[in-house]
Amino acid sequence: MYEKCRRMGFKVNKEDVRCLLSIFNPENVALRQRHRLQRRRYTSKGPNYIWHMDSYDKLRPFGICINGCIDGYSRKIIWLNAYFTSSDPSVVASYYTESIKELGGCPTIVRADMGTENGIVCEFQRYLRQDDTDSFQGDKSFLYGKSVCNQRIECWWGMFRKECAEYWIRRFKELRDNGDFDGTFLDKNLILFCFLHILQSACVVQFKLPQNKMKCLFQTELDSTTDVWNNHLIRPSRVGTSPHGRPNVLYTVPELCNTRNYLCIKSEDEIDICNDLVEHRTTVPCDVDVYNWCINFMSENNLYLTLEPNDAFNLYLTLRRSIHQIID
């Protein structure tokens, strides 16, 4: 919360923020104080030595699936994406290939849960590392394990819920409790249409949304959360050997902590082979028929897509009510 206040231009100190939280949100403060965890020691040699990837399913009942990856050493978020699926191995693999294409190489090790959605990433990682000569080359470069052992990303999901997801979970549950969401195919696709993605061409031509707002509402929230996290200051820990500092700095300048970047450089051809085999996210955020009907209805009624949460919820209710009037 202190970091969010600072980035929004408020000049406050951490003690004031702590006191205000204890006043305005005493229940959650008490919960955090009572549940002190016995922390395990975690070590990683340097940036890109090991990536931890996982899916976040708390919003899945409402149709929104999130997948993320964190660097074990610096705690920098490598990717954090929302889509209508996190169980399609080809889509999850696209997050991996987009990241390694941008970096020009792959990590030494990738760790993930024992789910089928991680199968293609496993094959790609082992393919890219098959000719390397270190002790984790080939099959050893991808590690499967239980969720409780994938501690870097599992720990980060707790922060993510407090700083981002809790708001959306609460708002979507309000829709459900008020009878405005029943988990049907239609309702999930309307959620996806209103909150997951804004098609750029439709925004420019029909809704005249400014170019700098051509972004998925929910993805915008994820990108903001990622940016705040990657630039916040991690304090020294009393246990463990993880470095302290800002994730972006720890990731890009490992020499400050007497280590090096463990990225395994790969050729463009090798990365493109993998990238061409995956299914990248499309510009249509939901079922095509639902999407086309919503676009036509909005055009006829002078409605527009928005990045404001309250306006997006109102749009969802309007679209849902109109479709049910036609169906009934």
Segment 239-275, tens digit of pLDDT: 667 899 999 999 999 999 999 999 999 999 999 999 9
Q: Are residues 247 and 289 in the same domain?
A: no
Q: Are residues 94 and 190 in the same domain?
A: no
Residue 177 domain-assigned (yes or no): yes
| Window from 11-25, 27-41, 87-101, 314-328 with minimum mean pLDDT | 27-41
Residue 230 domain-assigned (yes or no): no
Share of the chain above pLDDT 90, in %: 63
pTM of the model: 0.82
Q: What are phi and psi of 133, to 5 degrees?
A: -120, 5
d(CA 228, CA 77): 10
Residue 231 domain-assigned (yes or no): no
d(CA 290, CA 60): 19
CA distances from 177 to 109, 196, 240, 257 (A): 44, 21, 44, 51
Full residue range of the structural domain in which residue 267 is found? 50-156+238-275
Residue matched to tokens 């996982």: 54
Amino acid at 317: L
113-166 residue pLDDT tens: 988 999 999 999 999 999 999 999 999 999 998 877 788 999 999 999 988 889
| Average pLDDT of the residues in 72-91 | 94
208: left (phi over 0), alpha (psi -120 to 50) or beta: left
Amino acid at 26: P
The total of structural domains in the chain comes to 3
d(CA 147, CA 91): 21
Q: Are residues 184 and 317 in the same domain?
A: yes
Q: Are residues 6 and 152 in the same domain?
A: no
Q: Are residues 112 and 9 in the same domain?
A: no
Q: Are residues 169 and 148 in the same domain?
A: no
DSSP state of 109: E
For residue 71, what pLDDT is reported? 97
Residue 42 domain-assigned (yes or no): no
d(CA 316, CA 282): 21
Amino acid at 229: W
Residue 44 domain-assigned (yes or no): no
Residue 59 domain-assigned (yes or no): yes
Q: Are residues 76 and 210 in the same domain?
A: no
For residue 80, list its beta bridge partners: 68
Residue 97 domain-assigned (yes or no): yes
83 touches 91 (CB < 8 A): yes
Q: Are residues 6 and 28 in the same domain?
A: yes
Residue 28 domain-assigned (yes or no): yes
Q: Are residues 242 and 142 in the same domain?
A: yes
The CATH number for 143's domain is: 3.30.420
Is residue 57 predicted with pLDDT exceeding 50? yes
Q: Are residues 300 and 170 in the same domain?
A: yes
| Average pLDDT of the residues in 12-32 | 79
Q: Are residues 90 and 142 in the same domain?
A: yes
Q: Are residues 20 and 125 in the same domain?
A: no
Q: What are phi and psi of 265, to 5 degrees?
A: -65, 135
